[in-house]
Amino acid sequence: MLDAPFDLPMRLPSALRGPVEDAITRALDGKWAERLWARDPTMWSDDEQIKERIAGRLGWLDAPEDFSERTAELTAFGEAAAAEGFTRALVCGMGGSSLAPEVLARSFPMSRTGIAVSVLDSTDPAAVRHATEEAGPDSALYLIASKSGTTTETLAFLAHLWSGAEEVHGATPKARAGEHFVAITDPGKSLEAIPDADAFRSVFLNPEDVGGRYSALTYVGMVPAALLGLDLDELLRDARLMAERCRATDATNPGVWLGAALAALARNGRDKLTLVIEPELASLGAWLEQLIAESTGKQGTGIIPVDGEPLSGDPSVYGSDRVFVRLGRLSGDAWQAETDASLDALAAAGHPVIDLSLEHGEWLGGEFFRWEFATAICGAA
């Protein structure tokens, strides 16, 4: 028998309905949404040092609203870069500084500005060579993204690219090379740690209270989005709508029910979160993998995302540790029909299945926020 607790888009075997329903009820009765919005660190720990660190990392809750006020500045930056003849932008960063830009670049490959965005997040010499040759020094912008300003790999990328830019554009004045560089970092010591940042074309300073893996809706994601020519007002409007929904105090709260359900399933042995993502949005999986695994795995246990694994409709190939989450626009295309059949078979065999639809299909702002909120709730549960 399959059940859907609270009439939510999930299919569960009867044995898991009670634990999931109890977890959602506990989150609602405990006012977890209200406490998260109030930045209450006791949701996660009673340790004073840990609470202090957590309280200083919840600025992502304000990002949809705060960065909606900066869209004109960002759009002007992207348009100016295109007008000056830049045709490529290379984001140089690691982890949270590179994954959101890659999601946007791969999900929206047809740049409206004529600037193609790519990501360098590997120190493999072949990868560095390919990325730098593809970008080319004449018409490339290099986005140096590091929250701390001291990320070893990112500074190595900068040193390599700066040397090449000086060869092409001249070392004196250094501003000639600097016109091809943009920094995305935190203010103060983080900015001071980046060599030659005073000569960069632009410096975007992020709020200090936003951690790297929660930075998709800050300058980390929005500067590449501006260079792609995306409609930032719409992207952030989608994020604001999701943020508003995540203020709900009942089971319709998309962040609360998802986070509580995933935590309950993990506690009952279903800790392999198998992501089934629409092909055009497949790069979202790597971002989700880091967000969820790194956020929930701090105490020796957590949820393990499984990204990029071909979906089989044969339930016998999967163990009893799986939960499947399908994410897409669910527009009735061939991909949906194919995954419908496979997920129906898996659900009938007793595997938990969750269906998430992008309500504003072409924009990812809402999904970024939904999963950030859900991950925070999951960590508390």
| 3 state DSSP class of 48 | helix
Q: What is the tens place of the pLDDT at every residue in 62-105?
A: 999 999 999 999 999 999 999 999 999 999 999 999 999 999 99
Write down all domains in the chain, each with its CATH number in brackets.
Answer: 2-31+249-380 (3.40.50.10490), 61-234 (3.40.50.10490)
Question: Looking at the predicted structure, is the pLDDT value of residue 224 above 60?
Answer: yes
| 3 state DSSP class of 1 | coil
Question: Looking at the predicted structure, is the pLDDT value of residue 19 above 80?
Answer: yes
- Chain-wide mean pLDDT for the chain? 93
Which tops the pLDDT comparison, 177 or 318? 318
* pLDDT computed for residue 171 by the predictor: 62
Q: What is the mean pLDDT of residues 173-199?
A: 89
Question: Looking at the predicted structure, is the pLDDT value of residue 108 above 50?
Answer: yes
Would you place residue 39 in the very low, low, confident or very high pLDDT band (cuts 50, 70, 90)?
Answer: very high
Q: Tell me the two tokens of residue 211.
A: 């951690």
Question: Looking at the predicted structure, is the pLDDT value of residue 2 above 80?
Answer: no
Q: Is 317 exposed, middle or buried (0-12, 13-18, 19+ CB in 10 A)?
A: exposed
* pLDDT computed for residue 1 by the predictor: 37
Q: How far is CA 331 from the centre of its chain?
A: 23
Q: What is the mean pLDDT of residues 338-348?
A: 95
pLDDT over 70 percentage in the chain: 96
Angle between helices 219-228 and 99-107 (to 10 degrees): 30
Residues ≥6 apart with Cβ < 8 Å to 209: 56, 57, 58, 59
Q: What is the tens place of the pLDDT at every residue in 355-379?
A: 998 866 557 999 999 999 999 999 9
In the block, tokens 């007793």 appear at 350
Is 244 in contact with 252 (CB distance < 8 Å)?
A: no
